[in-house]
Structure formats: C-alpha cells, structure tokens
Structure 1
Amino acid sequence: MAGWVGLQDLLKDEVRQRKYEACNVDGFLARIEATGENQIELMKIYEDLCSLIAHSPNEDEPNELEQIRMLRPIGPRKIEREMSSEQWLDKFNGAWLGRAIGCALGKPLEWSNFMGGSHGRAGWENVHLWFKGADAWPINGYTPGKSSAQEEYGIELAHYGKESTREHISYMQTDDDIRYTVLGLIMLERNGHNWDSWDIGKLWHELLSYNQVCTAETQSYLNFAQVTHHYGEVKRPVDWSQKKHWVRTYLNPYREFIGAQIRADGFAYGAAGQPELAADFAWRDASFSHVRNGIYGEMFVAAMIAAAFVESDPHKIVEIGLSEIPRNCRLAQDIHKAVEIAQGTNDQLTLVKRVWDAFSHYDPVHTNNNAALVAASLVFAQGDFTKAIATSVLGGWDTDCNGATVGSIMGASLGAKQIPEHWIKPLNDTLYSAVIGFHPIAISECARRSYEVFIKLKQ
C-alpha cells in the first residue's frame, strides 16, 4: 500500500480514480464499508475495481509517447534565441530562485485549511483571511507565522513549514518540490539523453528514503522494489516495458495526482528553449509512477518551463505547454477553461474563486485543478512575478507545488535580475534538499550546473 493510509481508504481512493476514468463504480463504496478491515475481502474488491471497463473510453488519453505526439497540436518544438552566457545564466538563476521562492511562500499553507478548505470556506478564502489577519494583504512577501485568523476563524499553518514563514526564513528548507528538481539535475548530469523510467526508479532507491515520497511516488517506489531487487542487487527486468505499467498502477489510486507535475523542472532546465525535448524527458520521468493526465501534467509544465527561457508572453508559454499534450485530453480541456477564466477578470480574488468553483470536484492534489490554477495565474499576472506566485498560492489546493511551478516559469522568463530583491534576499542563496551533496548547497551553484547540463545537451 501507499504507506500513508490503510487498504480500506486506499480502495476508496481507487473508486474515485476509476470514476474519473468513466467507470461505473456504483455499489463499490458500500461494499468497502461493509467489508471493514478484512484484507482478503478488500483485495477481492480491488480486483473487481481493476477489471472495470470504462463506459466511454477516452481514446484521446494514451500513455505512450508516440501516441501522445500523434494527438498533440502544432507547436514550435524548439525555439532558437541568441543570448550571451551571462544572459543564459541569469535565466537559470531566475528559474532556481523562482522555484525556491514560490515553494517557500506556499509551504506553510500546505495544510488542510488551505488545501481543501474548512468551516464552510474554500481554501482560497482561508489563505486570504490568513494574510489579511496578519496585516500582510495583498500578498507581497513570505507567509506570516502568526495571524488573528488563527483564533478568529480556527485555521492554522502547517507545522513543518515554520522555517519558511516570514519571521524565520533564512534559506530554502527541504521539500519534495525541491528534491525532485535536484534529482532531475543529477539524472541529466549523469546520463545526458540516455535514460528511461527504469533509471528513475533506480535513482530514487539510491537517493531517496521511503519517507521522502508520498502518494503515487510511494506506491511506485514500493512496486519497483518488488520487480527489480534480487538479493540486494538491483537488476533491470528484460520485460521492463511490461512491468512498468504494473509498477505505476498497482494499488496506486494516485496515478493522476500532482506528484509527476512537480518533478518537471530539473529536466526542463536542461532542455531550455526545447519544449519537445523537455516534454520527452518529462514523459520518461512521469511514466514511472503516473498514467494519462498525471503524465500530461509533467509534460505540460516541462514544455512551459523550457519555453519560458526564450519566451516572455505568458499566454504563449501556456499554449506551447499545451502543444505537447493531447489536444482533447481532460487536462487540455481544463487548461483552456482556466485561461478563459483568467482572461475574463482583472480581480485576483474573483479569479481564484472562479477557478476554485470550476475545478474543486478534483482532489486538492490532483493534477488537473492545480495545473489549471498554474495556467490561470500565469495568464492573469501578465509577467508580474509577485502577482503570479501570489495568485497561484492564494488559490489553495497544493500551495507549495503551484507556487514553485509558477515561480520557476516566471524566473526562467524574467531572469534573476528582474525578480524583486525582497523575495531573493531572505533565502541567502542557500538550499537544503536532504539529498547527499545538495544539503546545503548554493542556489546559484545549482543554477550553474543546470546551465552546464543545458550546454552539454545542446552539443
């Protein structure tokens, strides 16, 4: 199981996922409740869930790269732009800084009050109340550690995000959104173009502990061990392409959650200006643990990041991201709707309310609603770094993930020199990733190494 919940709860999540996949799940929740904690009977129900056939199979949502590319819109694939080494390096510094800034802003808010809402209020309403209660509205700095909203409205911050609050922040504290960026850099440094999803599993088992992964990543981490570990030695199965699907789906109802989407950045930096290559790298990574829209989320974000290094128009960046995923998939449909919402208002609170109302039927950590918020924030902000990251965090759901993704895109587009100093200075150019060799490390050193990978891959 995924390590965070028992089998009964896992099956309830599987029912929801199968419903997303257009299966008829009538009666399954009642069966699960009636079974209680009987593991044998629960596994029989799981087998029945796995055997369900979608009533309206979506042929526009394949898992394999060649099929995905057959269904994507026309796109630039590669964008040439001449820049000096200094200009490129500023872009890479901006991307790493932007990711750290957005992640740190959202990390204290990655808590149920703000992700799913509470006391009859939407998550974005609680974010608004927190900053307002701290006399820090509108958002123009890191999350205050104290707010009158705590006592007045019964909301509180994530206990593990204290080091990222306004009163305490002095570096980028460890976070999965940062660890995966580091792992992407490591993979490209070691292997260049020559790696696939099996190498992702091997790298995770080498550098990540079990408690550093969650949801889809936890289950694929466990499943990978079962098919590759033999008496302490990791061996690639000759039939890995077949076993991979079991690794990413078995007891994994989170296979379309946001986990893959937050892993795009390290790969996309190495493919700066090449959205097709960035999406290729993202597909290899995401297909280890996710399917369909879970894969498309990482491909969409990777293509946007790669484009942002050479493109300044946020709407064009989003369109380039969409050009690397199936044009009619659920994610693409949701992104188009989010962009339409963003173009229809000039008010930040109205925007996040409309996005929340449109996509809150998804789990707070599903790919689609969070990607929609990311796209809406970029289009709404029109190139304003603070407005972009603030909107993405204000919207609730997976606050640190969305802040990090939007910050990464905006940083790559603007460059470090155009990011307001009051966001940069508190980090003291320091990152703690809880990955050997990157704990601590200068953020500027990570940027330099990503730039060197980019140069190597272009040759």
Structure 2
Amino acid sequence: MKNIFKTAIMWSVLMITLSCNTGHSEKNEVTISKSELLDKIKGGWAGQVIGCTYGGPTEFRWNGTMIDDHIAIPWDDTRMLWYYKNSPGLYDDIYMDLTFVDVFEKHGLDAPDSLHALAFAHAEYPLWHANQAARYNILNGIMPPASGHWKNNPHADDIDFQIEADFAGLMSPGMVNSAAAICDRIGHIMNYGDGFYGGIYVAAMYSLAFVHNDIEFIVEEALKTIPAESEFYQCIADVIKWYKNNPDDWKSAWFEAQKKWTHDKGCPDGVFMPFNIDAKINAAYIVIGLLYGKGDYGATIDISTRCGYDSDCNPANAAGILGTMIGYSNIPDYWMQGIEKVEDMNFQYTEMSLNKVYDIGFRHAAEMIKRNGGIENDDSFIIRYQVPQTVPLETGFEGIYPTERKDISTRLTEQNNEISFGITGCGFVLTGYASAQNNQENNALEADLYIDNNFIETIKMPTLSLVRRHDVAWNYDLSEGEHTITLKTRNIPDGYHINIRELIVYSSKNPGKHVYF
C-alpha cells in the first residue's frame, strides 16, 4: 500500500505546481464574455442529457459489434421527458457529476476528497463496477486513493470516472491542469491508471472546448495530459492516427480499435467475455464520434452511439464536449427539441435541475478563473490559459494476465459452509453476490478467506444491493504457482446465501499471442 500513498504525494506536489504555473503558450490569456461563458457551460450540461437520451435505448445491447445504419434510433420532442419520468436512472452519468458539484457548492472549491468520497458512498443511487466497489471500500474504512486502487478495486480500469468527470472540465475553462487537479482529488475515489486517465482526458477536452473551436485540435491537445507509456494514451493515439489515414470512414477506425483494444484485463465482468466497460475502448468511441463527426452535432452523437458498448455514456461525453465548443445557442434545433420540458426538473437523487446547474456551474467556473490568475471584468473574464501538462504514470493490473475463466457455481449457506478449489497462477477473482430467501431482512453475511491454509481476511457480503460487495474475493499478490483458495462461513443465518459464480485466474506469465497450427 506504500506505493498508493507515494503516488498520492507525487500527485499533490505536481498539482500544486500545475495550479500555479500555466506554462508558455501563444495563447497566454483568453478573453471570454460572461454571456459566452454561460452559453458554453449550458451547452456542456445540456449536451450530456441529449447524448445520454439518444443512446439510452442501445446501452450494452451491441457488445463487440456496431449498430448498423439501417437500425433507426428514435428522436423527437418526447424522448427526454419520457426518460426523466419513466427511467431516470439513465442519467446516472449526470447525477453522479452533480454529487461532486453539490459538495463544492456546499463546502467550497477546496472541499477535500474525503467529503466527496463520503457524499458519493452515502448517496441513495445504485452503483455498478468501479463505483460500487469504491462505495463498499469507503463504507468499510478504505478511503481514497486506496478505494480506487486496483489492488482493492478489481474494476479500477472501468469507465466510471470517465463518465463522471465532465464537471471538472466545465468548471475549468481553458485551464486543463486545474481540471486535472480536480480530477486527482475525485477520480481516485473509484479508479486508478487507465480508468483514472479516462476522466482526466474527458475533462481536458471540455476545458479546451471553451477556448478552441477546432475539434481535431481539442482531441489531440487534451491527450498531452496523459502519459504516453499508458495504454489509454496509445489507444487514443491510434484512433487519431487511423482518422488521419482515413478521415471519411469511421467504421474503419472502429474495426481497427476493435481488433487491437477490446481485450479486458481487469474487470471481472469483461475478462474473456463479449462485454467491455473498460475506459480506453469506450473513450476511443467518444473520440471516433468527435473526429468523424467533424463538428456536426448530429453526426457526432450518432457515430459515438453506433460504436456500441456503453452507447449512452459515450455520446453523452461527445455531445457535452461539442456542446461546450459550439455553445448552447448553437446546438441544432432538432437536437434541442424537448429540452425545455425537463430543464426545471431535478435529476433523480438530487435537488438540482439543468437550469440550477447552469447557474452553479457558471459561478464555480468564475471562481476557478479568478483563483488561477484570471480577472473578472464587468461583462467578461480574462482567463490565464494553461498549456496541458502530463500527469504521473499509473499502471493498473501491472505484470498480471488473465489465463482462465470458469464457472464454479455453488452456494455458501449455514449447512454448506465451506468451498475450496485450486488455481495455478499468481492471482484470482471470485465473482458472486449475497442474497436472502423470502424477502428476509437485509443482513451482512460473513465468510473467512484462506489461501494455502493461511487466513487472509473476513469477507463481509451485504445482501442489500445498494451497499453490496461487487465481487466476493480477489488477490493479485500471490507467488506464481499452485494455490488452494478456501472460503469458510462465519455468519450466514438460515435462509441466506453467498452465491459463488465464476473464477478468474491470473498469471505473471504473459501468454502472448496464440499460435494456431
């Protein structure tokens, strides 16, 4: 765990430096009118709702395949209102952002990561993947940055912070390094490495979209914030290269990304499965939409959606970034139809509507501008433009490779009180969940984990979904070789179960490419 805190210290030192030094650039200062600043902030928030709504019917229905052109995706003036009323959970991208906006609003822009973490962990909305794993960690005493670290969070490379980082860019116009500092405080709550970089990159594109009107430049310039050694950087750099080689066929870039970047190393739900919520491949789909959309709002949203996988979150990010660049007043009427019906409606689990967050976002951006050397005039701001600086390198799931996935379905109960199995490798993840029969009261079930007959930990498995442990057990620190994994019940009352589903095995030996004869 020392490496986690060493990384945190490095980040703190770097971010203090970045907040104070904007670097050298031809664009040292940018003047923006207050009306234009508000218009761009509104464009960013409204764009997220538009993109999320458009992609809503397709989310994770096209896994590993694109949505063909002949498949119609509906859009009219009823779509947003219908989702607000009937499926408000669609907007988890946005109400997650608003958790952090609300903490800043109530406690000031210096609110520590602990306040953000606790607000997030105690919120009433359901969570999945890295977010849920982090919530469980925080509620059980593992605070950030440890809560998002891959040794404690098997979903650390997942998309979670990427879909929630819009706010950091929207409150940092032209100040990418200030946006990165905000991301560091919040993104490590739930992610690490490539999962964290997804949020940094999205926030950087938003930040740059306030002061540049060239989407290709924004996409490339924002990537300077990400270490070139990371797979996230390499994936996005590939998309940019493929675009330049063939700028009129987004499907060619999609195929290349699919061939090279769709393997999932960490997420227990995606390893050796046709499901992928990894940050980098979904970020590639954001970028494919932005580049091949060529500034056309509808084309951008449609392409990002038709790339598949997390096809509501990806167009939400793309539409928000482009909406920031062109401004609310320039979003085409076709895509704005129906938004006036929802702008005064609070997002589920919040006391904030779009109209409220437009105002709050403007005030936060104004304060950030002044904190970073900018000047407020009667009707404009002078922004101290920041040249992107590269954040420190983090690598999740380093030196380990998934080698096997198998179904070991069984139940731990009061009667069936022990399960044991062998692995050959250096790590494992055991998937599953806790449950109760006949609507019994929520309970926290317990089982002891042993590795090679050595007690490791007591695992607590709440039956309440809101606070559940996302995976039963995992360990990535074993010596390479044969090991015996044992679970013994400690507290499982009659009628309750820990359902063991699948075993994923990791090795320190890179299997490399398969050779077929």
How high is the TM-score relative to the length of structure 2?
A: 0.61
The residue that corresponds to 1:187 in the other structure is 103
Q: 1:215 to 1:79 in 2, by over 3 A?
A: farther
Q: 1:287 to 1:360 in 2, by over 3 A?
A: same
1:409 equivalent among 310, 314, 321: 321
Matches within 5 A, 1:24-423: 64-65=10-11, 80-111=29-60, 113-114=61-62, 116-117=63-64, 122=65, 124=66, 127-128=67-68, 132-134=70-72, 142=75, 164=79, 168=82, 173-174=88-89, 175-206=91-122, 208-209=123-124, 212-227=126-141, 244-245=145-146, 248-249=149-150, 252-345=153-246, 346-362=248-264, 363=270, 364-423=276-335
Q: How far apart are 1:398 and its partner, in Å?
A: 0.9
Equivalenced residue count is 346
Indicate if the aligned counterparts of 2:243 and 2:250 stay in contact, CA closer than 8 A.
no
Q: 1:325 to 1:436 in 2, by over 3 A?
A: same
Say which SS state the counterpart of residue 412 (structure 1) adopts.
helix
Deviations 1:421-450 (A, max 9, x none): 111122324354212312xx2x23321220
Indicate if the aligned counterparts of 1:217 and 1:259 stay in contact, CA closer than 8 A.
yes
Distance 1:421 1:399 in 2: 22
Indicate if the aligned counterparts of 1:169 and 1:426 stay in contact, CA closer than 8 A.
no
Indicate if the aligned counterparts of 1:107 and 1:164 stay in contact, CA closer than 8 A.
no
- Matched letter for residue 259 of structure 2: D
The residue that corresponds to 1:36 in the other structure is none
Distance 1:432 1:132 in 2: 35
Q: 1:262 to 1:80 in 2, by over 3 A?
A: farther
Indicate if the aligned counterparts of 1:342 and 1:377 stay in contact, CA closer than 8 A.
no
Q: How far apart are 1:247 and its partner, in Å?
A: 5.9
Distance 2:301 2:174 in 1: 22
The residue that corresponds to 1:451 in the other structure is 362
Say which SS state the counterpart of residue 227 (structure 1) adopts.
coil
CA RMSD, aligned part only? 3.2
Say which SS state the counterpart of residue 83 (structure 1) adopts.
strand
Q: 1:86 to 1:170 in 2, by over 3 A?
A: same
Q: How far apart are 1:335 and its partner, in Å?
A: 0.7
Q: 1:379 to 1:309 in 2, by over 3 A?
A: same
Q: How far apart are 1:214 and its partner, in Å?
A: 0.9
Q: How far apart are 1:195 and its partner, in Å?
A: 2.7
Q: 1:309 to 1:291 in 2, by over 3 A?
A: same
Q: 1:143 to 1:338 in 2, by over 3 A?
A: farther
Say which SS state the counterpart of residue 336 (structure 1) adopts.
helix
Q: How far apart are 1:361 and its partner, in Å?
A: 2.0
Indicate if the aligned counterparts of 1:219 and 1:248 stay in contact, CA closer than 8 A.
no
Q: How far apart are 1:347 and its partner, in Å?
A: 2.3
Distance 2:49 2:31 in 1: 27
Distance 1:191 1:336 in 2: 38
Indicate if the aligned counterparts of 2:79 and 2:338 stay in contact, CA closer than 8 A.
no
Q: How far apart are 1:365 and its partner, in Å?
A: 0.6
The residue that corresponds to 2:425 in the other structure is none
Indicate if the aligned counterparts of 1:296 and 1:331 stay in contact, CA closer than 8 A.
yes
Greater share of helix residues, 1 or 2? 1
- Matched letter for residue 65 of structure 1: W
Q: 1:318 to 1:133 in 2, by over 3 A?
A: closer
Q: How far apart are 1:392 and its partner, in Å?
A: 0.8
Q: 1:192 to 1:419 in 2, by over 3 A?
A: same
- Matched letter for residue 451 of structure 1: F
The residue that corresponds to 1:9 in the other structure is none
Q: How far apart are 1:303 and its partner, in Å?
A: 0.9
Q: 1:355 to 1:79 in 2, by over 3 A?
A: farther
My pick for the range that moved more, 275-284 or 189-198, is 189-198
1:437 equivalent among 338, 351, 375: 351
- Matched letter for residue 358 of structure 1: K
Q: How far apart are 1:389 and its partner, in Å?
A: 1.3
Distance 1:446 1:322 in 2: 27
Q: Say which one has the larger Rg.
A: 2
Q: 1:335 to 1:79 in 2, by over 3 A?
A: farther
Indicate if the aligned counterparts of 2:250 and 2:288 stay in contact, CA closer than 8 A.
no
The residue that corresponds to 2:434 in the other structure is none
Distance 1:262 1:79 in 2: 30
My pick for the range that moved more, 177-186 or 268-277, is 177-186
| Percent identical residues | 22
Distance 1:372 1:106 in 2: 16
- Matched letter for residue 196 of structure 1: P
- Matched letter for residue 220 of structure 1: A
Deviations 1:99-124 (A, max 9, x none): 1111111111113x31x24xxxx2x1
Indicate if the aligned counterparts of 1:180 and 1:263 stay in contact, CA closer than 8 A.
yes
Q: 1:105 to 1:80 in 2, by over 3 A?
A: farther
Indicate if the aligned counterparts of 1:184 and 1:267 stay in contact, CA closer than 8 A.
no
Indicate if the aligned counterparts of 1:102 and 1:400 stay in contact, CA closer than 8 A.
yes
Indicate if the aligned counterparts of 2:220 and 2:240 stay in contact, CA closer than 8 A.
no
Distance 1:133 1:411 in 2: 25
Q: How far apart are 1:183 and its partner, in Å?
A: 1.8
Q: How far apart are 1:377 and its partner, in Å?
A: 2.0
Q: How far apart are 1:319 and its partner, in Å?
A: 2.3
Say which SS state the counterpart of residue 328 (structure 1) adopts.
coil
